């Protein structure tokens, strides 16, 4: 046959071949393609010895000789394929069916679970719209579309279920946020605590929908609720701490210092100061500290640091004024206002009432007498009193100098009975009743048997 030439349009490379070979190959390709129904034909595999550009040239001629619309040529991964129209039609029908099934699957999931994930891509945008439209029609309510903050998915919610889940999550914010707040690192910022609250809600929730909600921008609503609650909790905690320190430490020191200041016996005054300094350093301040820790009031790093400084200063103090100075310095730094006169009166009354209440269970006569003296002296001054047993006589004399003469004599009589070991159960009960009478403000006549007992005749 005659020699013919062909030049590749892309590379410009010339090919030389016989007209006979070209005719035979074209006819062969045409015959092959005419028998194709709906399956692709890999021409590169069928004619491996024919250069790709030349094969494409001859195949185009063969396709042109077919019925119009029979199919098209395409390159895929370097291979020349013939794609019959029937194949494309079947593929489109199959894709349409798959899409329809996928839409139905999403719709059913959305209607049953209240939520469905759809992966974001151009190919699924129409899918999302179809799911949204059909689900809204069948559910009779709007569909809320939210982007996932964790994946590339779009998350669809039934609006009613979304609102319900948001409500449930918000209702649990106070308890979860309180736990997280108490367990936080003392230097943690409010924002970091809010993030931990969201994480805790995610971990604690057993509801699929709630977990999904927390992975969308809707979590901002929960974060705002948590932030607002934590801000209020922070303020309440600061106020609670201030009241705790004021009630348990600042006011008692003020009241006991007032009590000491009213004492005229210098030896007794010194003894009281030493006793109270030891009491606050060894008992009161550790107790206040423990109570504050148990109430989660010493988590804040700055507050805890200043409180520990105050503790250290008190531990190193040698006198009651030193302890008072350290406590007052701490109060100023924490902006805790000093208790006013009304508050001091209230705290004093509460302290005395508690003391009288504790006397009801006290069995030792010496302890009862000591508590009674403290109650009577406190009732006769602006302050509070506490002393060691060795100062009982001096304390009685102090009361006799400022208090009721008859009661002063009774105190002496009870002291003598106790020293001699001659006190009776009636004497002990009389001490309790006198303390109660003084604190309750009763003006009732003191029982006659008390006078007899106090005079040593009972």
Q: What are the tens digits of pLDDT across the range 204-252? A: 999 989 999 999 999 999 999 999 999 999 999 999 999 999 999 999 9
- What is the model's pLDDT at position 328? 96
Residue 12 predicted with pLDDT over 90: no
pLDDT band at 187 (very low <50, low <70, confident <90, very high): confident
By the 8 A CB rule, do 253 and 360 touch?
no
3-class DSSP state of 214: coil
pTM listed for this prediction: 0.69
Distance between CA atoms of residues 281 and 275, nearest Å: 10
Distance between CA atoms of residues 413 and 451, nearest Å: 10
Q: Which residue has the tokens 């002296």?
A: 377
Name residues whose C-beta falls within 8 Å of residue 24's C-beta, 6 or more positions apart in sequence: none
- What is the model's pLDDT at position 64? 81
- What is the model's pLDDT at position 151? 84
In the structure encoding, which two tokens stand for residue 239, read together?
């106020």
pLDDT in tens, 343-375: 999 999 999 999 999 999 999 999 999 999 999
Span 67-86, mean pLDDT?
78
Q: Which residue has the tokens 């690192």?
A: 185
- What is the model's pLDDT at position 455? 37
pLDDT band at 25 (very low <50, low <70, confident <90, very high): confident
Distance between CA atoms of residues 100 and 102, nearest Å: 5
Identify any residues that bridge with 147 across adjacent strands, giving them in sequence order. 154
Overall CATH class of domain 89-158: alpha beta
Q: Of 33-37, 78-82, 284-288, which one has max mean pLDDT?
A: 284-288
pLDDT in tens, 95-142: 777 778 788 888 888 898 899 888 777 557 778 888 888 888 888 999
- What is the model's pLDDT at position 449? 36
pLDDT band at 458 (very low <50, low <70, confident <90, very high): very low
- What is the model's pLDDT at position 344? 97
456: left (phi over 0), alpha (psi -120 to 50) or beta: left
In the structure encoding, which two tokens stand for residue 19, read together?
């007209």
In the structure encoding, which two tokens stand for residue 47, read together?
């004619």
DSSP letters spanning 104-172: HHHHHHHHHHSEEEEE-SHHHHHHHHHHHHHHHHHHTS-EEEEE-SSSSEEEEEEHHHHHHHHHHHHHH
- What is the model's pLDDT at position 2? 81
By the 8 A CB rule, do 154 and 166 touch?
no
- Say how many C-beta atoms besides its own lie within 10 A of residue 264's C-beta: 10
In the structure encoding, which two tokens stand for residue 221, read together?
């609503």
């Amino acid at each position: 046959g005659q020699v013919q030439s062909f030049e590749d349009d892309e590379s410009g490379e010339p090919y030389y071949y016989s007209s006979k070979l070209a005719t035979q190959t074209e006819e062969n390709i045409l015959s092959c393609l005419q028998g194709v129904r709906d399956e692709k034909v890999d021409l590169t595999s069928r004619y491996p010895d024919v250069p790709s550009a030349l094969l494409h040239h001859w195949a185009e001629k063969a396709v042109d000789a077919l019925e119009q619309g029979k199919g098209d040529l395409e390159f895929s991964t370097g291979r020349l394929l013939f794609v019959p129209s029937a194949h494309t039609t079947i593929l489109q029908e199959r894709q349409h069916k798959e899409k329809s099934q996928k839409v139905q699957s999403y719709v059913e999931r959305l209607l049953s679970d209240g939520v469905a994930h759809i992966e974001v891509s151009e190919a699924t945008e129409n899918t999302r719209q179809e799911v949204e439209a059909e689900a809204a029609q069948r559910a009779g309510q709007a569909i809320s579309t939210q982007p996932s903050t964790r994946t590339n998915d779009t998350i669809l919610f039934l609006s009613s279920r979304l609102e319900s889940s948001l409500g449930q999550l918000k209702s649990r914010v106070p308890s979860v946020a309180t736990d997280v707040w108490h367990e936080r690192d003392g230097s943690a910022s409010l924002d970091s605590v809010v993030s931990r609250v969201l994480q805790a809600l995610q971990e604690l929730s057993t509801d699929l929908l709630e977990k999904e909600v927390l992975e969308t921008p809707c979590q901002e609503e929960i974060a705002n609720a948590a932030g607002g609650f934590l801000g209020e909790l922070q303020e309440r905690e600061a106020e609670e701490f201030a009241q705790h320190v004021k009630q348990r430490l600042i006011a008692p020191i003020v009241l006991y210092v007032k009590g000491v200041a009213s004492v005229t016996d210098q030896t007794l005054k010194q003894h009281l100061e030493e006793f109270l300094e030891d009491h606050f350093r060894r008992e009161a301040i550790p107790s206040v500290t423990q109570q504050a820790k148990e109430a989660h009031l010493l988590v804040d790093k700055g507050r805890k640091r200043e409180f520990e400084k105050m503790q250290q200063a008190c531990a190193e103090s040698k006198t009651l004024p030193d302890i008072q100075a350290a406590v007052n310095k701490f109060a100023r730094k924490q902006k805790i206002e000093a208790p006013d006169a009304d508050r001091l009166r209230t705290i004093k009354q509460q302290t005395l009432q508690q003391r009288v209440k504790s006397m009801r269970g006290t069995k030792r006569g010496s302890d009862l007498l000591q508590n009674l003296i403290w109650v009577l002296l406190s009732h006769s001054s602006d302050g509070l009193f506490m002393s060691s047993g060795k100062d009982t006589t001096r304390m009685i004399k102090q009361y006799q100098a400022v208090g009721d003469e008859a009661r002063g004599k009774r105190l002496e009589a009870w002291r003598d009975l106790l020293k001699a070991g001659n006190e009776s159960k009636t004497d002990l009960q009389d001490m309790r009743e006198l303390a109660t009478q003084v604190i309750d403000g009763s003006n009732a006549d003191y029982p006659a048997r008390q006078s007899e007992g106090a005079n040593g005749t009972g």
